[in-house]
Structure 1
Amino acid sequence: MLNSVMLVDDEASIRSAVEQWLSLSGFEVQLFSRAEDCLARLPRDFPGVLLSDVRMPSMSGLELLKEVQQRDADLPVILLTGHGDVPMAVEAMRDGAYDFLEKPFSPETLLSSLRRALDKRGLVLENRRLHEQADTREKIDSTLLGVSRALQTLRRQVVDLAALPVNVLIRGETGSGKELVARCLHDFGPRADKPFVALNCAAIPEQLFEAELFGHESGAFTGAQGKRVGKLEYADGGTLFLDEIESMPLAQQVKLLRVLQEQKLERLGSNQSIQVDLRIVAATKPDLLDEARAGRFREDLAYRLNVAQLRLPPLRERREDIAQLYEHFAQAAAERLGRSVAPLGGAQLSRLLGHDWPGNVRELANFAERQVLGLGEPEPETIEPGQSLAAQQEAFEAQCLRAALTRHKGDIKAVLAELQLPRRTFNEKMQRHGLAREMFLGEE
């Protein structure tokens, strides 16, 4: 329930009386004697109502109304008027004011108008939230591609975690898309308009690691010419992505832990503390706690980084995504290289689904580009070593169904025509493999 009110009036007695009335009724009230001060404190999507006197020195209530409408035309503004200002206030309502109250007004009149305005504001903000959620789902569906249950779960987890101010640890094999997931955590959260800074911990020589992470002052060490801002400081307000975090030297782990605890850092060669506000998203292949038990990683830092964890499944565990990913990468390569791309045939799909993809999505993207260039394809491998022929046939059948449903966005008639299946047989196979048409429907 919304209960926030911003009150702007240059008369201290009015501010005091209205605050007392509203506070006793459970409202949170912010008081301002000048309209300019109110505007400076007005947040985006303010969850409440603005009350303003009409006649004030400097900026008037009508000028405040115009400025507020430019920022948020749906924010209710209730004007407080003297007797002589009533015609002016009526005109202001035609221009977008929610209501006006003629002084002196009773607490009951004020509360009645406020509650109606807050009900309207609540509907507007809920509608915005639903639209934003729909936009986010559409964007993340087109970024983290896949129809598998694992990818559906991952997308939901990313959307949920993106909005939270917590550090995230991403576990996944080489080439599984860890940086892309880290980027989504940044892009779909409140830090999206701030820097996203990526650092591969395995690619930096140990003797340069501290300067790279913390920056340095001029002359801090031999060759340090001029001041340099480090990755931690550059990511202030945004997200720092530390890939292959298990490769970070132990000495730097201690210093990173201190930054996370205190939200402060010092450049090399400086004694001045610099305040930083950042979120750490780290990625690793091994389990950091196993690394800690082996003495290769600090246990306290592992817990700091692992507030929330995302596991990226390898491509061999989500084979139903292969067809969609291949077509995406092939189309992107064709557009970039100015080539045409042939549709994915049944024999080629069989080879794709049979390959083990040790390099995961990165290997598949490379393969798709080679196909567009006409440079051949890898030898197929067994779907799952040790499985019976019947089990492999079942797995392959499920992949074919998912691939066809994905291509046709859940259009059952098109799938039946492509696979040349009777409807009853198709329904039985869908039920046996735990598939539903709704999983593959395209966005409207």
Structure 2
Amino acid sequence: MTLTRILVADDEESMRWVLSKALKRKGFTVDLADDGRQALALIQENSYDLAILDIKMPGMSGLDLLDRIREMKSDLLVVIMTAEASMKNAVEAMKRGAYDYITKPFDLDVIDAIVEKVGRAREIAGQVSLLKQELKEHYQVEKNIIGNSAAMQSIYKTIGKVADSDITILIQGESGTGKEMVARAIHFNSGRLGKPFVAINCAAIPRDLLESELFGSERGAFTGASERKQGKFEQANQGTIFLDEIGDMPLDLQAKILRVLQEHEVTRVGGTQSIAVNVRIVAATNQELQERVRQREFREDLYYRLNVVPITLAPLRERRDDIPELVRYFLDRTCTELSIPPKQLTPEAMALLSRHSWPGNVRELENTIKRAVILSNDPMLTEADFDGLQPEGEETAMTPQDASLEAIVEAKLRSCLTGIEKLDKSDIHAKVLQQVERPLIRFILEKTRWNQVKAADILGINRNTLRKKIHDLEIELKRG
């Protein structure tokens, strides 16, 4: 970014003349002001690349003018001139946001060097600004998180509301729903764009190594620690740290995460010195943290500090309307990455994909599309290319950790109620409810050691209602 227009403000006419002549000889357009107020008026009317201001001027000092410039034109670089070579002036000028300062009298070579340095700084700033814009465009929510369902529209709105703040976010959802993608969208649409985004999976790192990964370690802190190591929090300074699967974090480390949230500092393993960090925390989990809090496996105080703004991602089976758009997105992206001609799906293949329950969510869908594209030589993918998927009406094998309770119940009902037209429809609702309600109440009673008052409170029903259900459902009571 080349410098073109410079403002010089000084109450000494001789200084204005010398600087104007020297700068114009270099090809710059130069405007002159003999006091701070005139300089402010020129800045309000024109666009400048650099302002060279005397520190002492009538009406408004150079430092006061610098404050006004910072308020209205933060990208204008300012050099302060002072006849007093005191540390106080230098410190005050830099503290208020001056790019540099020079002491009178000075050689014109000094001005040449400063102008050249300012030119390089503006060029770098322009490149950084362009890079930030490219990053922001690359990570625009609508480009990277696919879906127009009501559930996804709600997510987009939340991201838009919270991105520019430094508020702590807790993203919840099953594995494969895109929690890290949402975390990245929050970071790259925030004021921390251009700063580090550091992700760490708390469940993937052995327990005894997780602390040093998060907080760093000093040399000799443990066997194999041959040198000082920065932790993820230090690496993410000024940026965002994404703590994935935080529900699996050991309790002792949870206390240290809470300290980071409260004190904004970390201590390396084996160290004694606190290190200040300015980091935004975005956490994610596929677990029910409230349940883990009740089981005393997750700190309640940390849960409430993380859960300032909760974002819950719906599983793919609950937003099936998004599946065709996701399929086309992954299909186009895979073909582009592999440098092969575009492929399409038959309507029957798309219908099969839309009916599948996708226990692995978006990640499973993406891998399924990749596999089909790689293995098929045809430009049109058919049902045969997705041989592993089950058609509608058949129970899909799911494990409890892969699917929600609702999905498991739905799959079981599909299996049990095959041939529904032959069933007695007069009591099917009551029978199904009994079979779901009986194990639920029995489970809660067992957890509360058969204390009916506590069980009723957990279930959210009246104690007399619970007593009636125990009788009607023929639940055998045991002593706690």
TM bin, normalised by shorter chain, reads 0.5 to 0.7
Aligned length: 321
1:330 aligns with 2:331: yes
How much does 1:142 deviate? 1.0
1:321 aligns with 2:322: yes
- 1:337 to 1:270, Cα distance in 2 relative to 1, 3 A: same
CA distance in 2, matches of 1:20, 1:216: 45
**In the alignment, what sits opposite 1:51?**
none
Q: Deviations over 1:194-223 (max 9, x none)?
A: 211111111111121211111111111122
**In the alignment, what sits opposite 2:193?**
192
Counterpart among 383, 386, 394 of residue 376 in structure 1: 386
Any idea what SS the aligned residue of 1:241 has? Answer: strand
Any idea what SS the aligned residue of 2:254 has? Answer: helix
The letter for the 2-side match of 1:298 is: R
CA distance in 1, matches of 2:393, 2:111: 74
- Contact between 1:356 and 1:382, CA under 8 Å: does it hold in 2? no
How much does 1:22 deviate? 13
How much does 1:236 deviate? 1.1
- 1:11 to 1:338, Cα distance in 2 relative to 1, 3 A: closer
The letter for the 2-side match of 1:270 is: G
The letter for the 2-side match of 1:34 is: M
How much does 1:302 deviate? 0.9
- 1:22 to 1:199, Cα distance in 2 relative to 1, 3 A: closer
Any idea what SS the aligned residue of 1:12 has? Answer: coil
**In the alignment, what sits opposite 2:241?**
240
Alignment of 1:154-303 (within 5 A): 154-303=155-304
Any idea what SS the aligned residue of 2:344 has? Answer: coil
Any idea what SS the aligned residue of 1:219 has? Answer: coil
Name structure 1 gaps, 5 residues minimum.
Answer: 45-54, 74-127, 390-444
Counterpart among 58, 66, 85 of residue 14 in structure 1: 58
CA distance in 1, matches of 2:152, 2:250: 33
How much does 1:280 deviate? 0.8
1:34 aligns with 2:81: yes
How much does 1:153 deviate? 2.3
TM-score under structure 1 length normalisation: 0.61
- Contact between 2:139 and 2:185, CA under 8 Å: does it hold in 1? no
Q: Deviations over 1:87-146 (max 9, x none)?
A: xxxxxxxxxxxxxxxxxxxxxxxxxxxxxxxxxxxxxxxxx9xxx8xx759932111111
The letter for the 1-side match of 2:386 is: G
How much does 1:240 deviate? 1.0
Any idea what SS the aligned residue of 2:140 has? Answer: helix
- 1:337 to 1:248, Cα distance in 2 relative to 1, 3 A: same
- Contact between 1:22 and 1:28, CA under 8 Å: does it hold in 2? no
CA distance in 2, matches of 1:22, 1:334: 54
- Contact between 1:171 and 1:309, CA under 8 Å: does it hold in 2? yes
The letter for the 1-side match of 2:336 is: E
CA distance in 2, matches of 1:41, 1:323: 54
CA distance in 2, matches of 1:58, 1:206: 62
Any idea what SS the aligned residue of 1:163 has? Answer: coil
- Contact between 1:330 and 1:371, CA under 8 Å: does it hold in 2? no
Q: Deviations over 1:322-345 (max 9, x none)?
A: 111111112222233344453222
**In the alignment, what sits opposite 1:104?**
none
TM-score under structure 2 length normalisation: 0.56
How much does 1:11 deviate? 5.6
- Contact between 2:139 and 2:184, CA under 8 Å: does it hold in 1? no
The letter for the 2-side match of 1:305 is: L
Any idea what SS the aligned residue of 2:145 has? Answer: coil
CA distance in 2, matches of 1:28, 1:336: 45
How much does 1:193 deviate? 1.3
The letter for the 2-side match of 1:219 is: G
The letter for the 2-side match of 1:217 is: E
Does 222-231 or 358-367 show the bigger shift?
A: 222-231
CA distance in 2, matches of 1:320, 1:265: 45
Identity of aligned residues (%): 38
Q: Which has the higher Rg, Structure 1 or Structure 2?
A: 2
Any idea what SS the aligned residue of 1:365 has? Answer: helix
- Contact between 2:54 and 2:62, CA under 8 Å: does it hold in 1? no
The letter for the 2-side match of 1:257 is: L
The letter for the 2-side match of 1:328 is: Y
